[in-house]
Chain A
Amino acid sequence: MSTKVYTETHQLSDPVAERAPLVLGGLDFHDVTEIVAKPVEDKIQPLWVLAFLGALTLLGVYGISVAWLVWEGTGIWGLNNPVDWGWAIVNFVFWVGIGHAGTLISAILFLFRQKWRTGINRAAEAMTLFAVACALSFPTIHVGRIWLLPWVFPIPNQMWVWPNFRSPLLWDVFAVSIYGTVSLLFWYTGLIPDLATMRDRAKGKIARFAYGFFALGWRGSHRHWINYESAYGILAGLSTPLVLSVHTIVSFDFAVSQIPGWHTTIFPPYFVAGAVFSGFAMVLTLMIPTRVIFGLKELITTRHIENMAKIILLTGSMVGYAYAMEFFIAWYSGNPYEQFAFINRMFGPYWWAYATMISCNVITPQFFWIKKFRTDPVIVFVLSIFVNIGMWFERFVITITLSADYLPSSWGYYTPTIWDLGCLIGSFGLFFTLFLLFVKFLPMVAIAEVKAVMPQANPHWDGYHHDDHDDEPGNDEEAA
C-alpha cells in the first residue's frame, strides 16, 4: 500500500490555500474506490427496499393514470377551454427544468474547471436523465392518441404530410429528446472507466459480465485516456449551449404565442435561470439524504452543499428579478391586456398560487446569504424542498394565465381532477424508481474523476518529493 504512506504523512489540502479540500479524511485512491463501491456491493438495505416499494407504488399510480388516459382520452383531466394546457404542461416544464442541473454541473462547471463538480456530477447527471424521462412522458401522453406520436418526427409517409418546422412545439420535440440523448451519452461516457472498476471488483459472474459488457473492455490505457478526455471535453462543450438552448426553446412554446403574459422576450433567460434554480434544489433534495445514508460525506462535503446553495442564491435572485421585470415591462408597454394579465396573476382568482410562488422562489433563496444556513445540511434540505414546490407553482402560474385572455366571455377557472394528481404523483414514482435503481447498481460518484482531483493525483505533487516515510527514494517500498 505505497500510496497510503503518503497520505498519512502529508496534509491533503486544496492547493489554493484556505479552501476546504474536495476529499476529506486523508483518503487514498483505494479508499475512494471502496467508499463508492460499497453501496453497490453491500447487501440490499431494508431502507432501500422500503423506499423502492414506495416508489414502485407511485409508479403504479402513474401506470393506472396513464392507462386510463389512453383508454378514455385527455378529457379525464381538468383541461378545458380556455385552459387547454393544464398540469401536463406544468409537469413537463417542471421536470425539464429539474433536468438542467445535471448537465450544468457536468458541462458548464467542467469547462470552468470547477473541480468540486466531481463529487456530485454523476448523481446529478443521473437525476437529469430521470427528470427528462419524466418530462418527456407528459407531452407524449398529452397528445391523447399516443399511437400517432411518430407524426411529430419528419418521417416520410404516404399522406405526404410533414411536421411544421416553424412551430416552437416541434422545436421542443427536437430540443428535449436530443437533450435527453446527449445527456445519456455524456453520462455513459463518464461511466465507462467506473464500470471497469466495478467489473474488476465484481465477485459474481453476472455482475462481472454486466459491468464488463458496458465497460467495453476499458483497460485504462493512457493512449485511450487522451482520446477519452478529448471526447469528454467535446461533449461538455456541446452540452453547454445545448443545456441553455433547451429551456430557451421550452420558453418559446409560450413566448412565441400571442397570449398576454406569455408573449415576452424575457422568457428564455428567465426560464433558463429558473431551470438551474430548480435543478440544483432537486440535486440537494436528493444528495443530502443520500450522502448520509450511503456514507459519502467525505466525497460530497459541506463545501459541495455550500457551493450549490450559492448557485441557488444566484439563480433564485435572477428569477426574482425576472418576476419584477415582467411587471415593470407590463406597465411600461402600455398594453392594457398585458397589464391586466399580471395584475390578475397577483390579485386574481389564482392569487394563492402566485403567493406560493413568490414566497418559495423569491424569499427562500435569500436565506442563503447567511453562511450558517448554507453550511447546515438540514436547513439547506428544507429550503431546497421549498424551492421545488415554488418552481412547480411558477409553471402553474404561467400556464393558467390562459384562464383569462383577451375576451372576458371566454374566461374560465381551471380545476385539476384526481387524474391530474395521479399523473403528477405518479411521475415522482417514475423518478424515484429510476433513481433508486441507479444508486443500487451504479457507482453514484465518479470514481475516476474524484481520484483525478485529489492532490496526490498530480505527478508533481509536493508530497512525492518528501521521502521522510522511507529511507529510499520513493520507488522501492515493496522491495522486501
Chain B
Amino acid sequence: MSTPDTDPAATVDARGAACPGPLMDLIGKMREVDSGAIVCLLSDNEQSVTDVPEWVEEAGNELLAVEEREDHRAFYVEKQ
C-alpha cells in the first residue's frame, strides 16, 4: 500500500473522536461520494487500525494506504 497520487475527494478529520466515531464518520462520508472517489480519514483512535480495514473489506471498498503520521493515522479508502 502506498499513498495515492490522486487527491482525496474528501478528508474526514476524526482526530479526538472516541470509537466508533471515526469509522462512523468515514461511513457517512462514503455515503456521499461517487464510486471511484477517495476518502481520507484522519484518526488517532487505536481501534481504527482494526475497525476501518474490517469495514472496508465488508463493504467491498478498497483501503489504498494507511499513512503513519506524528500523532495520528491517515486512512485512504476508495469507494468501489
**Are A and B subunits of one complex?**
no
